[in-house]
Amino acid sequence: MKYLIIDKEHRVKGPRKGKYSTAVERIMSELANKDIPYSFAYLTQIEFLLKDGETSIRVDGTDITEYSHIIFRGHNLHNPKEYETKRLIVDWVDHYNTSKNNNKILVQNSKAIKNMPYYNKIFTAQFCSTHDIPYFDTYYRTDGDYLNKNILDDYPIIIKEYSGVNRLEKKMGKEVVKKNVYKIDSPKDFSQKGL
């Protein structure tokens, strides 16, 4: 048994003391406490070779079949290749597992990844709406022009970045990650910093 933890590369290390995100450090700690071997890689360290009718996937130079479990963490929403990479791995593992009865690879959240062709706020809102799951009222324009739209006159409004990308701001001389989430109580609030 060997686990593989895959995460996105973080733009700013933030207040963490370690090299990894808090969640990844916690996973590593739990695995180490149980004496379960693991490896870590970024999504940018994955390579696919499709040759002679065979597909092989290497993660930081190691064949993916060396792992029994894969835990995906985050991915950058502004780079669709990262989510596509997760989907490719899930599809490949499904195919691999049909022929390997004794050495199956388990992928955390594989069913959800297979059922979500996109990973963004609009798809999530549409999915919830379609399946009668309570969700925030959502308004989206493909052209990004939200000024002077009557539908936005019902305050308060929460405005979020479509792709979930956070902005970087300088705070006391250091770059910090700030969520692109804004509360709008009146038209004057549209002038908030970062909006």
In percent, how much of the chain has pLDDT > 70?
A: 83
Which burial class, exposed, middle or buried, applies to 166 when counting CB atoms under 10 A from its CB (0-12, 13-18, 19+)? Answer: middle
What's the CA gap between 162 and 105, in Å, rounded? 33
Average pLDDT over residues 60-75: 92
pLDDT, tens digit, 9 for 90 and up, residues 136-184: 888 877 777 777 777 777 788 877 765 555 666 677 777 666 667 778 8
Confidence of residue 6 (pLDDT cuts 50, 70, 90): very high
How high is the pLDDT of residue 58? Answer: 96
Domain residue spans in the chain?
Answer: 3-115, 121-191
Residues 6+ apart with CB under 8 A from 129: 135
pLDDT tens per residue across span 9-33 = 876 554 555 678 888 999 999 999 9
CA 64 – CA 126 distance, rounded (Å): 34
Q: C-alpha distances in angstroms, 24 versus 36, 48, 75, 79, 102?
A: 15, 24, 13, 21, 28
How much is the pLDDT for 18? 60
- Residue-averaged pLDDT of the chain: 83
The DSSP line for 136-149 is ------TT---TT-
Q: Among 34-38, 60-64, 74-78, where is mean pLDDT lowest? A: 74-78
The residues with which 165 forms a beta bridge, in sequence order, are: none
Overall pTM > 0.75: no
Return the CATH class of domain 3-115: alpha beta
Which residue reads 């910093």 in tokens? 193
Radius of gyration of the chain (CA): 20
The stretch 28-47 carries a mean pLDDT of 95
Strands 167-171 and 174-178, by their bridges, are antiparallel
